[in-house]
Amino acid sequence: MDFKKIMVITPHTPSLIWFRMEMMVDFLNRGYEVIAVGEESEETWKEYFGKYEILYRMIPIVRNSLNPFHDFRTIKAIKSLYRELRPQKVFLYQAKAVVYGSIAARQLPNIEIYSLISGLGSVFRGISWKQQVLKTGLKYEYCFALKSNKAVIFHNRDDMQQFQSWKIIPSSLCRLVHGSGVNTDKFSYEELQNGPIAFLMIARIIRDKGVMEYLEACKIIKQKYPDTKCMLVGAFDTNPSAIKKELLEPYYSYVDYYGEQKDVKPFIRKCSVYVLPSYHEGVPKSVLEAMSMGRAIITTDVPGCRETVINEENGFLVPAKDHQKLAERMEYMILHPELQQTMGEKSRAIVLKTFDVKKVNCDIAKIMHLEQKEHDGYYFNSDGELVCFDALLSEICDGLLIRKDYLEQFLVATGLKLFWMCTGEKQFFQGELNQTWKRWEGFIYYEQNQIHGSFEPVEEN
């Protein structure tokens, strides 16, 4: 068993980049080898992940398949990968990876399994007979699979409490983190642009994201305020609630549709207010990115979404599946343009306090009991904050640079004193032949936030 490997498994390879890359880099920085596992070919992704020194491997896994033979093949492939690469810890996310990755590890007791339930999805929220059957089956699968987990991580309290009420897992296994987090440096604050108000939604083109409600609300707004700009960014999907392209086309006169975009920052920069009328989420990353760039938010009062908005402070919460209420709040932002600035600034403050990806990754590292990398010259506290480092790394001086507050805590806790024995020399030139040389010695010590002591001359010629 190699005790320095972490494997991250998903049934959707691109999501490793969208949602988990910064977490995997954090694992690397803590001294672990990282193996990323997804359903797309190794030829396509090996070089990309290799740039980060992450090994990529492929497993046969189909996200929306109900074929039990496909699922058996997936479990067998994951178990084979566990035996070949021997990770100490495995991080699983999205339903099929969580269930089959956990089952594959049941007979391999030396592997620690950590599963992320980022959201319950359309299967758990649906009301059709087919969805009810699938829901019952998936609950039993979760109940069987998650028993072998070291911890199960949730993005919002509603989903965590729902799992507990269904008795899928005991509360002792449950952990809560604030979504996937957002890189607040990459998604830095951007001033609002001049001109008419602009609304933006970024999401997969599926009903459960509230795309139809957004389109209907934009239709109402554009008919009443024709100068308003409404934008939609996102790819068509194979999800059971996917919307066909033909259904979107009648709204093109009201909404500018830009398709899938690798970089969403230019679109957030152009918008004044970000809108996500989703039916359910874990914690929506697109909302966090818009908040980080200083945008007011209109989203739904549902699990995951409500975590991002303090109603009437950084935006508004509206009922799900209600395009009229959504249009009313969009109109309110048009009639009160000053709120775009004040609410946007509040969004940025909330993200910095709660949703910064560094804080989220630190929480995950603590849950997974990740040791700090040894002998790299950097030393962190339990919250992941840098408190000390080897000054040789700066290539300017040597010694150890310690944060003052941690130094004081250490001195108080140990009862030790900090002191220095010092020597100083100086040569003075007074003309070409007249030179004077002096030497000092001193004893100084640190006490009660002050430096005490003195230097005395000991030699002169």
- Summarize pLDDT for 57-67 with one digit per residue, the tens: 999 887 666 66
Residue with tokens 């809108």: 275
At residue 137, the 3 state secondary structure works out as: helix
d(CA 202, CA 213): 13
Q: What are the beta bridge partners of residue 199?
A: 230, 273
| pLDDT grade for 396, boundaries at 50, 70 and 90 | low
Tell me where in the chain the CATH 3.40.50.2000 domain(s) lie: 5-176, 198-352
- Summarize pLDDT for 306-360 with one digit per residue, the tens: 999 999 999 999 999 999 999 999 999 999 999 999 999 999 999 999 999 999 9
Q: What are the beta bridge partners of residue 456?
A: 441
d(CA 165, CA 143): 12
Beta strands in 103-147 (DSSP E): 112-117
Tokens of 409: 């805590």
Query: Given a cut of 70, is residue 272 above it in pLDDT?
Result: yes
Query: Given a cut of 90, is residue 387 above it in pLDDT?
Result: no
- Summarize pLDDT for 194-241 with one digit per residue, the tens: 999 999 999 999 999 999 999 999 999 999 999 999 999 999 887 777
- Summarize pLDDT for 77-92 with one digit per residue, the tens: 999 999 999 999 999 9
The whole-number pLDDT of residue 2 equals 46
Other CB atoms within a 10 A radius of the CB of residue 171 amount to 9
The answer to whether domain 198-352 has CATH 3.40.50.2000 is: yes
The whole-number pLDDT of residue 397 equals 67
C-alpha to C-alpha distances, 307 to 113, 179, 252, 303, 354, nearest whole angstrom = 27, 9, 31, 7, 10
Q: pTM value?
A: 0.76
CATH code of domain 5-176: 3.40.50.2000
